[in-house]
Structures are given as structure tokens and as C-alpha cells.
Chain A
């Protein structure tokens, strides 16, 4: 082999090696060298301390709070003791297999809906069956299950129910609002604008508060709407306004030629919207829409203001136990991990969906 080709063959191999990568990316300029040293120092400061606290010095198996407080690290025995309260709230202890099963049914149905294979007409039936199963499991009263009022529901199943129904109903409502806001009919357009601006102008917490305190004042004597239903409706109304504006951005991004091509074929307004415009508009706004869904999932924690026992409130109740005081960090880390798992799953799914929908646009 001549000297030239030997050198040439060594060149690319060198920059692909680990040392080559480190040299090129981490130490390529004075600024990069400084940043690398800084990040390295931060990692050295933080990682050992964190892993000590989280795992190595943590107490996993104590029985009492005093024992657990002796440990240097986290007290996961607290979670072992309280996890059923945090996950299921004040649901009757013996019946907690029911909310557990309901949660699994709901999560399984959500996962199925995400897989393209299941995008068939009978998915609607699957959802109807899943919702019926969840209703029966949570409420009971039939099939020999004891009846449990929904003010005893709490924790993870409640957060999941509020988010799932919230997104499921807010999304079509938001799309209709967006279409209405772009309508040429003045009445429809004004109504949509008024609704969107009013709802966006108030925080969710005040909507929940209004639904819980003000609404009963306007209703006739003795006629009450279930508190959970009120919270659910407030969440749906709130999310719909934000979804509407996001979808409207997507609609504005569709070039006029698409409308003209559809018009020239003779498609009616609703046919155009359903077949041509919405598929393209929704694809474009997947990132901000997913952001709204993720926010909604976490915003359900605000229902604490009207006394509904969601996952966050359940964590607070666990901390309030006099026998196990002082472990609030462990409790919040625990629910943070749960929130993270769901939000991250939504985020990863949306990336997968975007990649799949991009197939038609790659050469």
C-alpha cells in the first residue's frame, strides 16, 4: 500500500473513533473546552450526590418513620407504606383492585388507539366497551360490586379519567371553534371569537372555582350537577379554546391553492374540510397540540381547588399523616415520576406520529 492511500485510509477512521469524536465535539475550540470542563464539574458535583440520595443510601424497607429518618438518603419505605393512598386516594381499601383494573383498561385502550393497526371503525366500539368497563368498575352497584360514590374516587385513575375525557371532548370542540372563527357567517364567527377570548382570559383555576361555587347559585333549587362532572366540563371548555387557536394557526398555513383545487373538483365545504384541509392542518400543528395535551394532563392537578382528590392531592394527603412527617420530597418525586412517564409517552408518540405522517413528503 502506498503512503498516500495509507494516510487517506487512516483519516476518516480517526475522526470516527471515540477519541476523534471527543476531540472534535468537546474540545474543538476554547469556548467548547470551557463548557466541557464546566459541565463535567457540574456532573461530578451532582450525580454522585443524587444517586447516593436516590439509591445507595436510601432506605427501602423500614417499618416506622423513626427508622427511616436514620437513613442518609431517601426514604422509599414511605412510598411502600403510602403508595396505595397516593395512587388511589380514599377509595375503599379492599376495593382498590377496581380502580387499578380501570386504570389498566384505560391505558390499554389508549395504547391501542395509538397503533395504526387499530384505526378501524370498530375502534369506536372498543372505546364504548372500555368506558362501560371503567364506569362499572369505578361506580360499582352491579355484578355484585359495592357502590362507590365518585367523591371517593381519587389518585391516578381520577387524573387519567379527567385528562382522557378532557382531551377527547375538547379536541373536536376546539376544531369546530377554529373552523367557526374562520367562517364567513358573522354570527358564527363572533360567537367563536367571544368564547375563545373569554376563556383564554381566565386561568383554569378560576373556571374550576366558578363551576364549583358560582354555578350552583344559578341552578334551580335542589338541582345539582355532580361535582366531578362540573370539573370535567370546566376542563373541556378550557382546553377547547387553546386547541382552537392552535388549529386555526394550522388552517392559516394551508395554501390557498389547496382550497381552489378542492373547489374546482366540486367538493362541498365539509368535504373539503374533512378530506383535504384538516388532515394537512392538523399534521402541521402536532407539536403545539401535543404541548396542550401534556399541559392538560398536568393541569388536572388544579381540581384540588374544588376538593377533588387527584394524584397531587393524594400525595399531599399522604404527607399530612402525622406518623410519617417530613418525607414530602419522596412523595413529590414519586408523583413527578408518574406524571413524567405519561407526559413523556405522549411526547414520544407524537414524534412517531409525525415521522409516520411525513412519509408522503420525503422523496
Chain B
């Protein structure tokens, strides 16, 4: 039996007195696509940020591809090389051009040569359908284009796992589709493990292998999209779905 690529065991986290993650248990298989939804404050972003140590969990174990996440800097760096993240507010580097943003990681972390990194970067820019923007600065691009650059930037590191923290929440409605199209394409063609926190239920239906509903730091329900949306079992899930599907 293949071991899960992500395993959370009894993970607990507090922000001061506030118990944000309560006894989380989750196994993610290699190549699985997971969508995490839930009301704000439910801990969904915190949970995925724990996966690449942007947040620290206080109790429990997190194991990513066989390496446990601890305070050991080397383990953290190993894990971050294999886990890519796309943020709600893009977090592109404004003082570098698009191509420089993309090649920064490969050159300095993966120690690739500049020409190799640039060739790969152009390939990923074409994959997200904006190769002509390579020499522009992020400030000169629209929100949807910036988010696609952010996706390409993570892809350039050839990660095994991609985390998406509400990637379309900060975009104008017209641009949401272009980013979702890229993510659907990525899900269908690459076979990469993807964890996506989002409110885009259409995307979840199309792409997810599993939809997870979180509330107040706990996983309330998880199921395949069909069962999740058509036959939610818990009352809180039903309430949530009523509120967002209108």
C-alpha cells in the first residue's frame, strides 16, 4: 500500500488562547486533488500553511512525503522544495520582472543554470498562457495575470504538492475564470497532488477527488464532490452549502 504523501496526526494549534486547529487527522494520497471549504475562521488556511511551516503546529505530527515537519531547519527546507504555494494576494516580487520571479527559486534553491531555468520558466509561462509578459514587472499586469505568474513560479520549482490558499478570492469576477482554467488544466494534466482552499464550488465539482468541510478547527465532513454537494450528512455542512450555493 502506498503511504500517504501528506499525513496529519492529531494536529493541534493555538493562536494564544484561541484553539484554531483541533485534533486534525488527515491523509492525502499521492496525486489526490482536495478542496477544503468552510466558513472564515475555521482554520482551513492555517491548516495548509502548517504544511509548509508558514505556521507552526504545537501538538501532533505532520509528515510530508516521509519527512516529519519539526523545528529542524534542514527538514523544513527539504519540505519547502517539494511543496509549492499560491497565495491569495499573489506575493510576487515587485522589483523583479516576471521571468526573474520565476527563475529566482530554480537558480538559488535548486542550483540550476540561468539558461536552464529561463527555458523552464518560458515553458511554464506558456502553460499558464502568458508567455508575452515575460519581461514585464508584476505591477504592470492585471490581477488574473499576476496570479497565473504566481502559479507558474511555484511550478518552476517542480513541486510534488501544490497548495492554493484562496487563489481567486482577491480577483475581479472576470479574471476568476482564467485562473480556474489554469488550475483545472494543471489538475487534469499533471497528476500533481493539490490542496486548494477556495469558495469556488464549481471548480470543486469539476476537479476534486475529495471535498473537505472544516468548521471551528475540525474536519466536519469529507466526501467525493457528488456525495458532498448532493447529500451532505452533517447539519453544519448543509447550513454552509445553503449559504454559499445561491
Contact = CB atoms under 8 A, between A and B. Distances in A.
Chains A and B form a bound pair: yes
Interface of A: 257-258, 260-268, 271, 275-276, 279-280, 283, 357, 359-363
A361 B94 contact: yes
A266 B105 contact: yes
A95 B109 CA distance: 55
B140 interface: yes
B143 interface: no
Nearest to A280: B95
Contacts of A264: 52, 54, 80, 83-85, 87, 91, 154
B99 interface: no
Contacts of B109: 265-267, 271
B137 interface: yes
A261 to B, nearest CB: 3
Contacts of B140: 360, 362-363
A362 B52 contact: no
Contact of A265 (B89, B94, B157): B157
A360 B139 contact: yes
A179 B140 CA distance: 31
A283 B154 contact: no
A360 B91 contact: no
B108 interface: yes
Given A264-B80, A265-B153, A257 B105 contact: no
Interface centre among A260, A266, A357 (most CB of B within 10 A): A266
Nearest to B108: A271
A276 B108 CA distance: 12
B140 to A, nearest CB: 5
Given A361-B137, A362-B140, 5 more contacts: A257-B90, A266-B80, A275-B108, A360-B96, A360-B139
Contacts of A363: 139-140
Interface string B32-62: 0000000000000000000011100000000
Interface in B71-96: 77, 80-81, 83-85, 87, 89-96
B92 A261 contact: yes
* Nearest 10 Cβ contacts at the A-B interface: A261-B91, A360-B137, A266-B80, A265-B105, A264-B85, A257-B91, A266-B109, A266-B81, A361-B139, A279-B95
Interface string B83-121: 111010111111111000000110011000000000000
Contacts of A279: 95
A69 B92 CA distance: 68
A265 B54 contact: no
B104 A266 contact: no
Contacts of A275: 104, 108
A360 B87 contact: no
B87 A260 contact: yes
Contacts of B80: 263-266
Contacts of A267: 104-105, 108-109
Contacts of A283: 95
B93 A258 contact: yes
B93 A362 contact: no
Contact of A266 (B54, B77, B94): B77
Contacts of B95: 279-280, 283, 357, 360
A276 B92 CA distance: 10
A98 B161 CA distance: 66
A117 B139 CA distance: 25
A82 to B, nearest CB: 49
Contact of A268 (B54, B77, B96): B77
Contacts of B52: 263-264
Nearest to B88: A257
Contacts of A257: 87, 89-91
B74 to A, nearest CB: 11
B148 to A, nearest CB: 15
A257 B80 CA distance: 16
Contacts of A276: 93
